[in-house]
């Protein structure tokens, strides 16, 4: 066996502690796979005296994380601090600038800075690895970069955020409201005190932009991901979806549309028979369609100490073996600079829940508006009083022309979905696209929620 790979770890929280535990518990196994031992020599975190359930006695302590990069006893650095910029980015730049290899679980940083960091890594012939950044323990980065490398990928889609999938699963099982399930999950430590990134789809958008880059040989385009989260979903929506034969999931999906990159994270009604409908609780899954391999599904635990450490150490084993290629699967210079596709452009089948006044003629008003805009209704459910007054009116549409891009209460939509004409619309309006121009009419509906139905 050759000399050990000496690593420095910055961040000793859930994942950092997990990596140290794994390297200790599986030391012989890892050394056999890597053909050399992998040893931790130096660590950094904020609080030197915090109890972490691991013995740090044998490691040098470094107060300023970026200083790990210059140490003679560090060959490769593992960044497990988090955050798209700040100390994590400073450490990445310092490590790659020193020509040393860099491993991270930090999807936010990779989503925002992949191009710059990959360029640095390539220039210095150093590794930049981030298996743990997408879907935790599932080897989906390796799967996309290597396993599916021979295929033209037509679509990559998945359930990329365990917290939101857990919340939707509990809402379904218990018939409970989003706010209650979120509060319980926070009390149990399953959700962050600030859940924005998870429940509003931003975390999934970070991961999707990384996957899409690998799938389509394109520069990562995080700014091009349109995002809608799960806050507006009611337990009643989950129940209506079930009656219609679907389960509501927060799906991240990317594909090419007329040579542009369509990337969306949004609630989606997934048919019960589809494999993504069966991904429950905090499990993640990624589905890719290749032109020779067909459909491939990766599924497993997308977060947590063990799964995430497993992915980090897999990257270290590759580095110890000297097996690493361009970080984004192709040299940065060969990545396509794709533009973002208009998220409203593709035709879609949608699910709509309206709260309408409980008086004769309202349903006819709604369906008349749909008729006028050539939106063809597939099914209708009118059942159940809404707690805020009125009744729920639920319908699903066939594929609609002009992207099915009609919606109600656009001022409450996440900003990314609001088309230019939606900004001056009023609450309660239904917005339809007609010949590419959004047009609105106002029936007696007070609130509304709409989302796509899976159509691949
Ligand atoms: N948790 C998961 O399941 C999971 C899954 C996939 C990816 N990730 C990613 O992995 C990364 C780490 O996540 P985590 O859950 O392990 O976070 P965490 O438990 O909050 O731990 C963060 C660690 O970073 C340290 N830290 C903060 N600021 C620092 C600084 N300026 N210099 C040095 N250390 C600093 C903290 O030090 P103290 O302990 O002293 O406060 C802590 O040890 C994030 O990028 C996250 O997105 C996490």
Task: Indicate which residue's Cα is closest to atom 33 of ligand 1.
Answer: 45
Per-residue confidence (pLDDT) for residue 258, from 0 to 100 = 93
* Level-2 CATH architecture, domain 143-301: 2-Layer Sandwich (3.30)
Residues of the chain with pLDDT > 70, as a percent, come to 88
Q: For the chain, what are the domain ranges?
A: 5-137+306-328, 143-301, 349-453
User: Residue 362 pLDDT more than 90?
Assistant: no
Q: How far is the CA of 75 from the centre of ligand 1 (A)?
A: 21
CATH of 349-453, one of 3.30.410, 1.10.3470, 3.30.750, 3.30.70: 3.30.70
Q: Which of 107, 129, 142, 207 is catalytic?
A: 207
Per-residue confidence (pLDDT) for residue 442, from 0 to 100 = 52
- Write down the mean pLDDT value for the chain: 89
Q: Which residue has the higher pLDDT, 409 or 173?
A: 173
Per-residue confidence (pLDDT) for residue 412, from 0 to 100 = 31
Q: Which residue has the higher pLDDT, 354 or 157?
A: 157
Q: How far is the CA of 80 from the centre of ligand 1 (A)?
A: 5
User: Residue 454 pLDDT more than 80?
Assistant: yes
Work out the average pLDDT over 172-176: 98
The tens digit of pLDDT for each residue in 338-352 reads: 999 987 767 788 888
Closest-lying ligand 1 atom to the alpha carbon of residue 82:
45
Residues of the chain with pLDDT > 90, as a percent, come to 75
Please give, one letter per residue, the 3-state secondary structure of the chain.
Answer: CCCCEEEEEECCCHHHHHHHHHHHHCHHHHHHHHCCCEEEEEEECCCCCCCCCCCCCCCEECCCHHHHHHCCCCCEEEECCCCCCHHHHHHHHHHHHCCCEEEECCHHHHHHHHHHHHHHHHHHCCCEECHHHCCCCCCHHHHHHHHCCCCCEEEEEEECCHHHHHHHHHHHHHCCCHHHHHHHHHHCCCCCCCCHHHHCCHHHHHHHHHHHHHHHCECCCHHHEEECCCCCCCHHHHHHHHHHCEEEEEEEEEEEECCEEEEEEEEEEEECCCHHHHCCCCEEEEEEEECCCEEEEEEEECCCHHHHHHHHHHHHHHHHHCCCCCCCCCCHHHCECCCECCCCCCCEEEEEEEEECCCCCHHHHHHHHHHHCCCCEEEEEEEEECCCCCEEEEEEECCEHHHHCCEECHHHCCHHHCCHHHCCCCCCCEEEEECCEEEEECCCEEEEEEEEECCC
> pLDDT band at 217, cuts 50/70/90?
very high
User: Residue 445 pLDDT more than 90?
Assistant: no
- Whole-model pTM: value is 0.93
> pLDDT band at 426, cuts 50/70/90?
very low
The tens digit of pLDDT for each residue in 432-442 reads: 444 444 455 55
Per the annotation, the verdict on 207 as an active-site residue is: yes
Per-residue confidence (pLDDT) for residue 408, from 0 to 100 = 34
Q: How far is the CA of 305 from the centre of ligand 1 (A)?
A: 11
Closest-lying ligand 1 atom to the alpha carbon of residue 86:
31
Q: How far is the CA of 68 from the centre of ligand 1 (A)?
A: 16
- The CATH H-level superfamily of 5-137+306-328 is NAD(P)-binding Rossmann-like Domain (3.40.50.720)
Q: Within 6 Å (CB) of ligand 1, which residues are found?
A: 10-16, 44-47, 50, 65, 80-82, 87, 105-107, 132, 136, 303-304, 308
User: Residue 271 pLDDT more than 90?
Assistant: yes
Among 105, 165, 306, residue to substitute to test ligand 1 (most atoms within 8 Å of Cβ): 105
Among 13, 68, 88, residue to substitute to test ligand 1 (most atoms within 8 Å of Cβ): 13
The tens digit of pLDDT for each residue in 25-82 reads: 999 999 999 999 999 999 999 999 999 999 999 999 999 999 999 999 999 999 999 9
Among 82, 108, 206, 303, residue to substitute to test ligand 1 (most atoms within 8 Å of Cβ): 82
Of the listed ranges 51-55, 188-192, 200-204, 285-289, the one predicted with least confidence: 188-192
Most confident of 84-98, 183-197, 354-368: 84-98
Q: How far is the CA of 294 from the centre of ligand 1 (A)?
A: 37
Of the listed ranges 134-138, 171-175, 176-180, 414-418, the one predicted with least confidence: 414-418
Per-residue confidence (pLDDT) for residue 399, from 0 to 100 = 84
The tens digit of pLDDT for each residue in 400-422 reads: 754 443 443 333 333 223 222 23
Per-residue confidence (pLDDT) for residue 447, from 0 to 100 = 60
């Amino acid at each position: 066996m050759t000399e050990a790979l000496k690593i420095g770890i910055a961040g000793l929280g859930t994942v950092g502690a997990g990596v140290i535990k794994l390297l200790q518990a599986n030391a012989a196994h890892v050394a056999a796979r890597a053909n050399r031992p992998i040893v931790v020599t130096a660590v950094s975190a904020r609080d030197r005296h915090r109890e972490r359930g691991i013995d740090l006695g044998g490691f040098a302590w470094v107060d300023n994380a970026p200083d790990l990069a210059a140490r003679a006893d560090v060959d490769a650095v593992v960044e497990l601090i988090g955050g798209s910029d700040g100390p994590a980015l400073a450490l990445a730049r310092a490590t790659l600038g020193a020509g040393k290899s860099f491993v991270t679980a930090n999807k936010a940083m990779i989503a925002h800075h992949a191009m710059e960091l990959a360029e640095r890594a390539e220039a210095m012939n150093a590794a930049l690895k981030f298996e743990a950044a997408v879907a935790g323990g599932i080897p989906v980065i390796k799967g996309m970069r290597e396993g599916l490398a021979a295929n033209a990928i037509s679509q990559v889609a998945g359930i990329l955020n365990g917290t939101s999938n857990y919340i939707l699963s509990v809402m379904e099982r218990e018939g409970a409201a989003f706010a209650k399930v979120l509060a319980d999950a926070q009390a149990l430590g399953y959700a962050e005190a600030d859940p924005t990134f998870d429940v509003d789809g931003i975390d999934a958008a970070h991961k999707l932009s990384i996957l899409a880059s690998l799938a389509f040989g394109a520069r990562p385009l995080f700014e091009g991901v349109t995002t809608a989260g799960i806050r507006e979903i009611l337990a009643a929506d989950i129940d209506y979806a079930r009656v219609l034969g679907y389960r509501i999931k927060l799906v991240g999906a990317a594909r090419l549309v007329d040579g542009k990159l369509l990337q969306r994270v949004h609630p989606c009604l997934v048919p019960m028979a589809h494999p993504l409908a069966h991904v429950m609780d905090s499990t993640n899954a990624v589905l890719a369609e290749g032109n020779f391999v067909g459909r491939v599904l990766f599924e497993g635990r997308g977060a947590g100490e063990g799964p995430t450490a497993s992915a980090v150490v897999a990257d270290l084993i590759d580095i110890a073996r000297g097996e690493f290629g361009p970080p984004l699967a192709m040299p940065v210079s060969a990545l396509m600079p794709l533009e973002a596709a208009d998220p409203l452009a593709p035709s879609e089948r949608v699910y709509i829940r309206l709260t309408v006044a409980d008086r004769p003629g309202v349903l006819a008003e709604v369906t008349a508006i749909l008729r006028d805009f050539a939106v063809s209704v597939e099914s209708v459910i009118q059942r159940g009083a809404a707690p805020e007054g009125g009744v729920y009116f639920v319908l699903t549409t066939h594929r609609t022309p002009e992207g099915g891009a009609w919606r109600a209460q656009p001022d409450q939509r996440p900003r990314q979905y609001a088309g230019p004409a939606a900004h001056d619309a009023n609450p309660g309006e239904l917005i339809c696209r007609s010949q590419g121009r959004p047009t609105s009419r106002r029936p007696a509906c007070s609130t509304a929620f709409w989302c796509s139905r899976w159509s691949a």
